[in-house]
A and B are shown apart, each in its own frame.
Chain A
């Protein structure tokens, strides 16, 4: 009798336990509102089929993304189990305890070799070189360029260009050529402008754009390991890069002072810009004939080299991390283990995600899948990133506030602008307790 009762109780307990488990079988991922998030939603459907765990991808618009995520982190909220966070969040995520450390997970799944090296370095490791990992690279991204083939390959344009600049009109190999081409196509009377770049200062728009130039020119945003700012951000290469970014801005459509990815794509789709700088993740809409009348004529290229032959581009993209306040951490880890499987990564790439899987990335299959994948592949091996300290948001806002008056309003000189940014950054870093120089 006793045994029977025990058995029944145990059975009941098991039922209860399993029923609570059923309740917990839902995971919520926070990401920004954009196409890759919808691809991810489609990808996780397969996971639901395999395991019965429902995964929902919750999205929030880009300008609020950082605020929203950190509001939730700082509230120690459990609304999200996983977050696909910007690379710069690693510092805050790791040192403030928002992220679960994934170092063991990374070792167990050999991610340091399975994923492209730059993606592990920038999307996962913190502090740099420490061997501590906090995320699984999810969406690789960087700044690339789109251009109008019909303009570039037009015989009259080609002849005129050659006559004016002395070399053939083609995809620019250097920033000097990029500037020539932008100048060449700037014709307000035809409603055509040379380029469309980022200028928005409420998020990271203008900073990303300047960064892209600064890295290519061999400049730097600082020696991140030694907190050295002076002489880096305001060094001669950085200054030249900022000057040329300002020049590039003058070849943009009128009123181009609040532009981010949507504006750049709109300018191209409406036939206003011959070239546009954008994150690879935003490029697919340019080959959609329903949204871009020039879809058939779009070409893409990786960031050109700077005057000294340096070849770099600014990194975007995100890794996925487990939120330490989540109540479903175990389920979340299981999900990550599924996500890093090569089959999953392959499916991810097919759906339109930018996989960071090193083998897949280098495969001809991937590189030829779309008109922009080849440029993406080239870019992902030459990326550099912004600061990833917990204080990165302050550095970013200061940079945006400092760049904007020079780039958009043409106030002061590039040297003055960067000198003032250097001194602001040193102050901010010192206040935060770093031995900044």
Chain B
């Protein structure tokens, strides 16, 4: 530390005035928060108005006020409910999968391994690809006739992406492939931060492997795992590109895909704004719950 101070320009010692802490705080925080408000809150307020109208962005006809009709129609629409439950199930499957694979990989990697840095970077490759391209190529890989997967597994002609029972899982598997490395990376960071002396103490006490894992490793890694799960849940909830490209199977239709169809294929701006609001409220609830857990985990 002394070194760093020593390298500072001695002339700056004279400049004692500078900005006050309060100015710095405001200059550092207010622009970002304002920026986020302009690009998040403002657009939403803008569309709140539309959600009570029959407005179509594709039409020059003036918007007509329809009250709560859009909301009532949407909540009475079984298709919307189906996409909600599908999305929920998709989030659970894909996040659970990423958690198991990612954390498992991290546990395997958490030991001296030759070329560890290189291997880890290789494992990160899937998440560097564009989701839309990932979706396209997995469609090719899954194809029952000319896809490699069925041949590699030797399981005949399984129609992964068109079978109503399989399609959602097929999309989730792709998502798991793509994002497990993210969970792995965070878990690895968490594992490497566990103080070594705790393990040494445990081994002196002749504690079993399982005991060490559940009483030392897991509690210490839990907070960062939770962060990984939070971020992945948020992203999984938002999933659009992969699912949109991969399958048209209605049983695998996610809420984002439905919204895209309504908003930009059918140009039902009014009803789709209302749907966007319903999603927004759900998102806020989920985030709220998560942040509470996150804070709790951090306090531990």
Contact = CB atoms under 8 A, between A and B. Distances in A.
Interface of A: 66-67, 70-71, 73-74, 92, 96-97, 188, 191, 200-202, 253-258, 266-267, 270, 272, 390, 393-394, 397, 401, 404-405, 408-409, 431
Interface in B236-281: 244, 247-251, 261, 264-268
A71 B264 CA distance: 8
A200 B249 CA distance: 9
Nearest to B266: A394
Size band of the interface chain B makes with A? 20 to 34
B161 A258 contact: yes
Interface string B165-204: 0000000000000000000000000000000000000000
Contacts of A408: 162, 249
B102 interface: no
22 contacts: A67-B264, A73-B58, A92-B58, A97-B60, A200-B248, A201-B248, A201-B250, A254-B159, A255-B144, A255-B160, A255-B161, A255-B162, A257-B159, A257-B248, A258-B139, A258-B249, A270-B146, A393-B266, A394-B267, A404-B250, A409-B250, A431-B54
A254 B267 CA distance: 34
Nearest to B146: A270
A66 to B, nearest CB: 7
B250 A405 contact: yes
A92 B61 CA distance: 12
Contacts, number: 78
B164 interface: yes
A67 B162 contact: no
A414 to B, nearest CB: 17
B7 interface: no
A253 B267 contact: no
A254 B145 CA distance: 7
A96 B146 CA distance: 44
A200 B265 CA distance: 15
B145 A258 contact: no
Given A202-B248, A270-B146, A397-B266, 13 more contacts: A70-B58, A74-B58, A74-B267, A92-B59, A201-B248, A201-B250, A202-B244, A254-B159, A255-B162, A257-B159, A390-B59, A394-B266, A404-B250
B162 A393 contact: no
